[in-house]
Structure 1
Amino acid sequence: MNSKLDRRIQYTRMILKESLMKLLKEKPISSITVKELCALADINRSTFYSHYSDQYDLLTQVEEEIIQDMNETLLNYNINQDEESFQMIEKIVEYVAANSDICETLFSENGDPSFKKRVMMLAHDYTVKSWMSSYPVDDSITSEYASLFAISGSIHILEIWLKNGMDKTPKEMAEIINNLTNKGLSSLR
């Protein structure tokens, strides 16, 4: 009986998440109502409210899922080792590709602007901790700026890649990001 209930809960949350993503492709979260979410998901409002307090809560839960998955991916790699650094980038790009519809929607102009910042800060916090151990203390500010620059650029590259229909493989994108991050624009020559 419990697993049947769990499947219904999972299904309800999945259909609400899909409905939210569909609506976010058309308009910002501030223009989406619980009523239209429920209509699109074909559930009643009381069912919605048994899972989420409002449409913003649902969006936050979707974002938290993505952040948590990315955090788990980042924790599995040592960015100080070149090979692992590339593998980490490749896994993140593969994750974005596997969740392209959600990621493209969340990174779009209709998504929550704070989500992109949270993704950037997650990657920044992880890379700064790793990079700090390889830089002298007096270079820590430069290291932090370099990290923010690289991460911001990487996220924008992924946004464009998603908008272009993922015209390159995840491995090719990881190589581009890795080369630009480690070698800068001179890697394009």
Structure 2
Amino acid sequence: MKEMKQDRKTRYTRMVLQDSLIELMKIKPINKITIKELCENADINRTTFYAHYTDPYDLLRKIENEALSWAKESLATLIKTGRHEALQVLEEVFQYFVENSNHLQVLMSEQGDIHFQRQLITLIYQECGINPSAEPNGNMDTKEFYFIFIVTGSVGLIQHWLKHDLNKSAKEMAEIIYTMASQWFPE
């Protein structure tokens, strides 16, 4: 029973530290965030912070890694589905964005780590079997160009959606992306 209580306390501590970092990143870049203000904002002492993370960058990397892990699982599900189920899976993806918008708004914004955003795009390419930098001689298939256009355009659209406080529902965004992608890759 004590172990379960400890695990719950650890999860809570990590959650408030993550929320604190994201909150602070909304108003200043990570290189201006001190551990002291991070801990004060989270109402956690420095010793507790150091029990979980080495610095704010370590905390940010853990947040990003969780998001990338989720993205990889979602892509695997999306790739396995047939065309008819793809819209439903996309809607679930956008619902995840809604439920985690506080973190994702920062991660996908100008305040976020551009390296994370590049990792996300690279992950999408890799999971879908596309390597846009593989052929320097220009022998890339036209279909791959379409795919790259759809991925980068979709990421840009998601960034815009998050920046404008989710002004469309998850279902609407899934339908927009699905419709745009379907035009380039008809059945």
TM-score, normalising length from structure 2? Answer: 0.86
Distance 2:39 2:175 in 1: 42
Residue identity in the other structure for 1:171: K
Residue 109 to residue 77, structure 1, CA distance change in 2 (3 Å): closer
Partner of residue 100, structure 2: 99
Deviation at 1:87, TM superposition (A): 2.7
Unaligned runs of 5+ in 1: 130-138, 185-189
1:23 aligns with 2:48: no
Q: What does 1:32-181 correspond to in 2, within 5 Å?
A: 32-78=33-79, 81-128=82-129, 141-181=141-181
Deviation at 1:88, TM superposition (A): 2.9
Residue identity in the other structure for 1:150: I
Residue identity in the other structure for 1:101: N
Distance 2:95 2:119 in 1: 19
Partner of residue 135, structure 1: none
User: 2:128 aligns to what SS in structure 1?
Assistant: helix
Distance 1:155 1:5 in 2: 38
Relative to its length, the structure with more helix (as a share) is: 1
Residue 47 to residue 80, structure 1, CA distance change in 2 (3 Å): closer
- Residue identity (%): 39
Residue identity in the other structure for 2:173: M
Partner of residue 136, structure 2: none
Superposed CA deviations along residues 70-122 of structure 1, whole A, max 9, x for unmatched, are 21122123367311332332222111111111111111111111111111112
Greater shift, 144-153 or 73-82, is seen at 73-82
User: 1:77 aligns to what SS in structure 2?
Assistant: helix
Unaligned runs of 5+ in 2: 131-138
Deviation at 1:15, TM superposition (A): 0.6
Deviation at 1:38, TM superposition (A): 0.9
The Cα RMSD (Å) is: 2.0
Greater shift, 139-148 or 97-106, is seen at 139-148
Distance 2:127 2:98 in 1: 21
Count of residues paired in the alignment: 176
Residue identity in the other structure for 1:59: L
TM-score, normalising length from structure 1? Answer: 0.85
Check whether the contact 1:127–1:147 (CA below 8 A) recurs between aligned residues: no
Distance 1:128 1:144 in 2: 10
